Amino acid sequence: MLVNMKQILEIAEKEQYAIPCINTPNIETLRAVIGAAEELNTPVIIDHAEVHDPLIPIERIGPEMVKYAKEATVPVCVHLDHGTDYTFLMRAIRAGFSSIMYDCSALPFEENVKRVKAFVEIAHNLDITVEAELGMMKSTAEDTHEEDAESRVLTNEDIREFFTDPEEAKAFVEQTGCDALAVCFGTMHGIYAEPPVLDIDRVKEIRAAVPADCRIVMHGASGVEFSQVQQAISAGCSKVNFYSYMAKAASKFVSDLVIEKEGKIAYHELQEEAYVFMKGYAKDVLKAFRNGK
């Protein structure tokens, strides 16, 4: 069942759990995430990140995501992750996405507000939910695939520099009317150089400040201890993005399997083994983010 984010995140927040948002850049991952959600009878958000478009264009993977969502026995939101190029947002709309993140967090506050507000007016007329970001989330080069991204080590103190201010978050949501807001409180995208430490009190402050009809989003959850993620969920995060470590674990699983089989395994068999592994991984993530619900 294809839904937008607003329909499922409102329920998640009321019941104090979070819905994972997982990248699905190929069919095996798409099947695995939807299959995991169906087996657990729980909603899920699948997404296509703009940085993955060179790997698989939205015109190719998008229709498959929408098809799987419509045929699923559970509510599935098809979401665009970190859309920064306006043309790309339009491509997502044409592909049938039910939710779009317009990430203008690298811009000054006023410009971020201006662009997101204008897009919200367009999206809401199409029954599409909009996520924005305030407090720029840092990334590793491995995750972004950007040519100009540096391979750098980011400490927890480095990340703290980009934390979201609760009062700014309140003003941003009131002025833009966005449905969800990604905030920074101790996470980043990609692979962590040291165990992250989340500022849970900041999450509580942001949740208290932001209008009640806007959901709070946690990005960069993979690599964070589930116990910390669960604290963030209890503090007010109802959407949690997760992917990098799942992809890394799947790569290791496939590599180990090829070695174990001494290379005597067909490609289609390897694909199915990877699908089964990723479905199990996705189920663990879904269960953890349910917070015992």
Question: Per residue of the chain (293 residues), what is the pLDDT tens digit?
Answer: 999 999 899 999 989 899 999 999 999 999 999 999 999 999 999 999 999 999 999 999 999 999 999 999 999 999 999 999 999 999 999 999 999 999 999 999 999 999 999 999 999 999 999 999 998 665 544 444 344 444 455 666 666 667 899 999 999 999 999 999 999 998 876 666 677 789 999 999 999 999 999 999 999 887 788 899 999 999 999 999 999 889 999 999 999 999 999 989 999 999 999 999 999 999 999 999 987 77
Residue 73, pLDDT score: 98
Crossing angle for the helix pair 200-209 and 166-176, to the nearest 10 degrees = 40
Annotated binding residues for Zn(2+), written as ranges, equal 82, 103, 133, 189, 219
pLDDT digits (tens, 9 = 90+) for 86-100: 999 999 999 999 999
**93, two tokens:** 């709309």
Is residue 93 classed as helix, strand or coil in its secondary structure?
A: helix
**What are the distances in angstroms from CA 24 to CA 99, 198, 202, 212, 279?**
15, 26, 30, 30, 12
pLDDT, tens only, 15-73 = 989 999 999 999 999 999 999 999 999 999 999 999 999 999 999 999 999 999 999 99
How many residues appear in the chain? 293
Annotated binding residues, written as ranges, equal: 82, 103, 133, 189, 219
Distance, in Å, from the CA atom of 272 to the CA atom of 173, rounded to the nearest integer, reads: 43
Query: Which residue's entry shows tokens 């003003």?
Result: 171
**Active-site residue list:** 81
Structure-block tokens of residue 145: 């695939």
Torsion of CA 24, 29, 30, 36, to 10 degrees: -120
Residue 158's SS3 state is helix
SS3 178: coil
Position 284, amino acid: D
CA–CA dist 130, 204 (Å, integer): 22
Burial tier of 125 (Cβ tally within 10 Å: 0-12, 13-18, 19+): exposed
d(CA 21, CA 37) in angstroms, rounded, equals 12
Helix (H, G, I), strand (E, B) or coil at 189: strand
Whether the CA torsion 225, 22, 48, 163 is positive or negative: it is negative
State the pLDDT at residue 191: 62
CA pair distance 120, 100, nearest whole angstrom: 10
pLDDT at 293: 72
CATH for 5-290 (3.30.2010.10, 3.40.50.300, 3.30.479.30, 3.20.20.70): 3.20.20.70
Question: What pLDDT, on the 0 to 100 scale, is given for residue 149?
Answer: 41
Please count the other Cβ atoms lying within 10 Å of the Cβ belonging to residue 85: 12
Instruction: Calculate the average pLDDT of the chain.
Output: 90
Q: pLDDT value at position 146?
A: 40
The H or E element spanning position 221 is none
